[in-house]
Amino acid sequence: MTAPSLSAIPPLTTLTEDEIMFRDAVRDFAQSEVGPLVDKMERAAEFDRSLIPKFAELGLMGIDVPMELGGAGGSFFMAILAVEELAAVDASTSVLVDVQNTLVNLPLMDWGDESIKQRFLPRLAGGTVGAYALSEAGSGSDAFALRTRAERDGDDWILNGTKLWITNGAEAEIYVVFASIDLSKGYKGITAFIVERGFEGFSVGKKEDKLGIRASSTTELILENCRVPGANVLGELGKGYKVAIETLNGGRIGIGAQMLGVTRGALNAALKHVQERKQFNQLLAEFQGIQFQLAQAATELEAARLMVYNAARLRDAHESYTKQAAMAKLFSSQVAERVTSLCVELLGGYGYTKEYPVEKYYRDAKIGTIYEGTSNMHLATIAKIVLQEGEIGK
């Protein structure tokens, strides 16, 4: 038996020179440009739109969109690096970039015909914000119970329904919207459409007031006889469920990266505190009980990073990654909850105030167990695949 070449095994935490340069550029940008705006955005519960053209200038609005279509020509893995670095400073900022790259650009590249790619990807990469609209009042975890309808009218489609929990809803101009062309067919009637803000019958409704990621807009979308050109159908009619599933698989890796950044940001703030704060005539960092908790947190963060990076590498290599994406999202969100909670405790009373950053990281972490698939839904996905494989380690 011939051993596999080590060069054929994708690196995980080992980055290429280009990836390191890109990561460092995003880290510098996050600290210098995003950092000073975080408190203002958090208190106003509104995203500072002056950041969007800066994202585009840095290539963050179309990271793995080909250069001939106006993108940065990078990789999915680089998009994951960007999300992690932004989340270490502000989760709300990271999720705008995450949705743009993993839930909007990717399905257009994977499922769009040449006309769709030429019409929309240069705009998105150039700074037009996108959003992904699947959820409804009666279809959250049961995503394919959606009731939004699409009826043909000549060469166009008429959409009617309401979407809920739409990230980037307030800022977006381009929306990937899922509707059924035949409710009697269940999930086999679902079709993906590209809807633009200016379309007749389309409007943005209520904006949610949330616990965390407060500067990230979460809105409802209202479609009242919304006319959509037939050329804006994304993928095949009745195959929208495939577009939705495959897109969410990649999006879950993005949420995993967001949780890495949130965890790292909180842990760094706690590390700084315990190396400065004295109790009983010694630094908190000198107590073995504190040291062990930090060691456990750092270990869990590293394990989560390996899982997220591995899933991203698998996607770039066009290998199967559904199980790995579910595991990465599940575990990274669990780690984020545990570690950010610990960090609040390590800062004591200070950690419970808005004067210090850990309480925000703590609130921002909670969404990781909910959106793009709850933890229970990911457990169900993982269990199904493991049982199908019939052997751990396949």
In this structure, is the dihedral angle defined by the CA atoms of residues 378, 380, 384 and 390, taken in order, positive or negative? positive
**Strands 190-196 and 233-234, bridge-based pairing:** antiparallel
Work out the angle at residue 258's Cα, subtended by the Cα atoms of residues 254 and 260, and round it to the nearest 5 degrees.
115
CA dihedral sign of residues 242, 245, 249, 251: positive
- Coil, strand or helix: which one is 72? coil
**372: annotated active-site residue:** yes
Name every residue whose Cβ is closer than 8 Å to that of residue 52 and which is 6 or more positions away in sequence: 61, 127, 129, 171
Nearest 10 degrees: Cα torsion 290, 296, 298, 301: -140
Cβ(97)–Cβ(86) below 8 Å: yes
Q: If residue 6 lies in a helix (H) or strand (E), which one and from where to where?
A: none
Q: How far apart are CA 28 and CA 271, in angstroms?
A: 20
Cβ neighbors of 383 (< 8 A, separation 6 or more) are: none
**Given CA atoms 12, 17, 19, 25 in this order, what sign does their dihedral have?**
positive
Q: What b/e string do you get for 99-108 counting C-beta neighbours within 10 Å, with b at 16 or more?
A: bbbbbbbbbb
Rounded CA-CA distance 368/180 in Å is 28
Q: Phi and psi at residue 194, in whole multiples of 5°?
A: -100, 115
Residue 301 parent element (H or E): helix 288-316
Among 84, 337, 359, 372, the one annotated catalytic: 372
Total length of the chain: 394
Q: Token digits for 183? A: 């409710």
What is Dmax (Cα atoms) for the chain?
Answer: 79
Q: Annotated catalytic sites, by residue?
A: 372
